[in-house]
Amino acid sequence: MSATFATVASAPSERRASAETPRRSGLSRIRNIGIIAHIDAGKTTVSERILFFTGKIYKQGEVHDGNTTMDFLEEERARGITIKSAAISCEWKECRLNLIDTPGHVDFTAEVERSLRVLDGAVGVFCGVAGVEAQSETVWRQASRYNVPRLAFVNKLDRVGADFDAVVKQIREKLGAEPLPLILPIGKEKEFRGMIDILTGQAYLYDDSIEDPRAALRIEPAPEEFATAIARAQEHTLESLSRYSDPILHSLIEGTPLTMGDIKAAIRLATIRNEVVPIFGGSALKNKGVQLLLDAVNDYLPAPDDLPPARGVHPDTGADEVRPADVGGPLAGLVFKTVTDRNGDLTYIRLYSGRLESGQYIFNSGKRREERIGRMFLMHADEREQIESAQAGDIVAAIGLRETITGDTVTTREQPILLGAMNFPEPVIAMAISPSTKSDKDKLGESLGRLAKEDPTFTCRTDEQTGEVIISGMGELHLEILVNRLRREFKVGVDVGAPKVAYKQTLERPVDVTGRHVKQTGGHGQYGVVKMRFEPNPEEAEIVFESEVVGGRVPREYIPSVEKGIRDSAALGGRLKFPFVNVKAILVDGSYHEVDSSDLAFHTAATLAFREAVDQAGVVILEPIMKLEVQVPDEYMGDVIGDLSSRRAEIQEVATAGHLKLVRGRVPIAEMFNYATVLRSQSQGRGTYSMEPSCYAPVPKQLAVELIEAITKAKAGK
């Protein structure tokens, strides 16, 4: 087996020729890729090094210096985190890379979701010390949902406690992936000085004393002491590939030699099919391993025409439609992002088929509206390069689309298609805001509308009883940054209240009720009667409506009004104002009047039925539960776990990552306000934590009673 591989590696002249990226043209030259990871794993640093080594920038920016290309917003540079995904194009060895750097903080998970929906491949970045962390699992699941092929880059291999093999094992065990390591690190922790390319047997060594990172790399035969490890790794690589590649399997059985092209083709095909995840590594901050990663992006991640056609439905008939990646095909593109801008909102579009020209009219197949493309741009982070046309495989931004927003399909009226939209999580936290002055009041509504158009996980509403404006989002940081944007970008002065949990509620038990709306006031009256069965439905997150009416007891034309009445009532949330979920509503029977019945009458009857069901069945208040991961030095573990227990946390695992302890579990978000300050105090600033939404669960009965009493008192006080 190893002899078969050695046939490749023993001929340097053949190796150089076959390993070289073949000259490509058109769609096959394009790589639409994203960088995804847990917060602080090094995504932005990896992105910055990619831009440097591809020649896109000539001076490397650093996150800690607040001067990176990809994190260009004032908030991003001040906080040292990515808030918005940034797109940029660069070139590496015959391929054009359209690169998107995504946030790692769970509060901005919508940015990851919409980026992965339109990307062809992704690079998952993992910290060599912490390994697979909480948000690593989240973004990995998001990529799996859209079948995005991935590479992995184990970063920070020069840090104390870094362990390449341990991270590879975690990728297999925690992410359910089939890792295919294609490097061997040379040295550990502070002695880390490079890596060996398993396929070629070449060593990539870096000289830290050379200032120019491009000149610091030298490639030479691997040190002799690695010969056994290389042979073992090559054998493992072929064995792994043989499970997915018939040519590799036949070669192993028959003992025939393989070319480098054979092996790379097998890795590429298995990667595109999501059967394996090639693993690379290095230290992006120290410029180590980035060139090998770039070669891997070219060699193993798909071009637009390597993937199955985009799928959708005809907006009128519902028939299945496909759009292969074809420049000459009918126009099909998906809007995945909208950015507010004083010179006109930027609408980001991924084109799957056809061509798009400046000035062209497009058909929004979901809204059945035509709009005109104004100007188009290739985006380079916060800089724009105006272009006149774009084609299948491109990611562009357009100005001029007023009604087309995230999730909409851009197509033509003659050959329409409706592409699958994106799913975004529900907000879990809310706060009241009010304008500081009368002039601010005039600007607040418009500014909130623009933010909501840009961010699908941000919502705002006006409380009908108090008149307060309630904004909701994914966490304290999310809302804090949105408020800062109102003040800085939109010049709106606002006062804010304390954050509040986005509770929901469901029915406690099944109930049968009747809703009657019968009024006679002279002339036409109002007549609508519905008999309903309501029951808890934990299998479905939303309200489920069914009709069992027979014999025309409720005419078919009024049934949609009954459903709307139920859904509107559930959204309003009754006296507690918490939306209802996990409820099945069944229309069993009813009656109508030939003259006095109307849509309004049946809508009102359904509203009354829902109100009666809530009174009879009782409610269960549901609170958002978060997955939690805390990293802290061992000496502070007792205080941290004791504090978490007092916050109703359910500790599920305590593990070790280098010199740190990891505490994983679940905790109600209601107990975690200002936790960052508490953790810093408990660990002398050395502890960190992350959370992500997990599920909704019933509030303990005593706490529910206290919550209802507090709401009742607050209403009475007003």
| Alpha carbon 226 to chain centroid, angstroms | 40
What phi and psi, each to the nearest 5 degrees, are found at residue 543?
-80, 130
Does residue 9 surpass a pLDDT of 50? no
The mean pLDDT of 257-264, rounded to a whole number, is 90
Q: Considering only 92-96, 111-115, 515-519, 674-678, which range has the smallest mean pLDDT?
A: 111-115
Residue length of the chain: 718
Q: What are the phi and psi torsion angles at 406 (to 5°)?
A: -50, 130
pLDDT greater at residue 202 or residue 488 = 202
Res 226: pLDDT: 93
295, 31 contact by CB (below 8 A): no
Question: Which of 92-101, 521-530, 576-585 holds the top average pLDDT?
Answer: 576-585
Mean pLDDT of 432-436: 88
pLDDT of residue 513: 96
Is residue 85 classed as helix, strand or coil in its secondary structure? Answer: coil
Which H or E run includes 233? helix 227-242
Confidence of residue 62 (pLDDT cuts 50, 70, 90): low
Residues 457, 109 contacting (CB under 8 angstroms): yes
Which of 536 and 81 is assigned the larger pLDDT? Answer: 536
Res. 511 pLDDT band, cuts 50 70 90: very high
With bands split at pLDDT 50, 70 and 90, how would you rate the model's confidence at 166? very high
Q: Comparing 63-67, 127-131, 270-274, 474-478, which segment has the lowest mean pLDDT?
A: 63-67
Is the pLDDT assigned to residue 308 strictly greater than 80? Answer: yes
Alpha-carbon gap, residue 347 to 350, rounded angstroms: 10
Which strand (E) or helix (H) includes residue 599? helix 599-617
This prediction's pTM: 0.74
pLDDT tops 90 at residue 616: yes
CATH code for the domain defined by 509-617: 3.30.230.10
pLDDT at 717: 64
Predicted confidence band at 69 (pLDDT cuts at 50, 70, 90)? Answer: low
Give Cβ neighbours of residue 673 (< 8 Å, ≥ 6 apart): 476, 498, 499
Give the pLDDT of residue 12: 33
pLDDT at 2 over 50: no
**Which of 475 and 287 is assigned the larger pLDDT?**
287
Nearest to 239 by CA among 180, 288, 166, 307: 180
Residue-level pLDDT at 71: 45
Average pLDDT over residues 494-512: 91
Could you tell me what percent of the chain has a pLDDT over 70? 89
Q: Which helix (H) or strand (E) holds 125?
A: strand 121-127
How many CB atoms are located within 10 Å of the residue 389 CB? 12
Q: For the chain, state the CA radius of gyration.
A: 29
What CATH number belongs to 623-703?
A: 3.30.70.240
Compute the average pLDDT of residues 210-219.
Answer: 87
pLDDT at position 625: 92
Contact 292, 271 (CB under 8 A): no
Burial class of 197 by CB neighbour count within 10 A (0 to 12, 13 to 18, 19+) = buried
> Pick from 39, 133, 175, 171: which is nearest to 662 by CA?
133
Do 311-419 and 509-617 have matching folds?
no
pLDDT of residue 67: 47
- C-beta of residue 398 within 8 angstroms of C-beta of residue 386: no
User: Which residues is 420 bridged to in the sheet?
Assistant: none
pLDDT band at 609 (very low <50, low <70, confident <90, very high): very high
Between residues 441 and 69, the one the model is more confident about: 441
* Mean pLDDT, rounded, of the chain: 85
Q: Is 2-304 CATH 3.40.50.300?
A: yes
Question: Do residues 36 and 124 make contact, with C-beta atoms less than 8 angstroms apart?
Answer: yes
Q: How distant, in Å, are the alpha carbons of 200, 234, 277, 465 from that of 7?
A: 11, 12, 25, 78
For residue 75, the model assigns a pLDDT of 54
Please give the pLDDT value at position 70: 46
The reported pLDDT for the residue numbered 532 is 96
What is the C-alpha separation between 489 and 73, in angstroms, rounded? Answer: 11
Token pair recorded at residue 553: 């007891």
Degrees to nearest 5, angle at CA 423 with 455 and 106: 60
Mean pLDDT of 504-531: 89
The encoded tokens of residue 113 equal: 């979701």
Domain ranges in the chain?
2-304, 311-419, 429-501, 509-617, 623-703
Identify the architecture of domain 311-419 in CATH.
Beta Barrel (2.40)
Angle of helix 476-488 versus helix 438-454 axis, rounded to 10: 120
pLDDT at residue 425 above 80? no
What percentage of the chain reaches a pLDDT higher than 90? 46
pLDDT at res. 5:
57
Please give the biggest Cα pair distance in the chain. 101
pLDDT for 372-400, tens place per residue?
999 998 877 667 888 999 999 998 889 98
Distance CA 71, CA 62 (A): 10
Q: Which CATH superfamily is domain 429-501 in?
A: Elongation Factor G (Translational Gtpase), domain 3 (3.30.70.870)
Q: What integer is the mean pLDDT of 193-200?
A: 94
What does the pLDDT average to over 325-332?
92
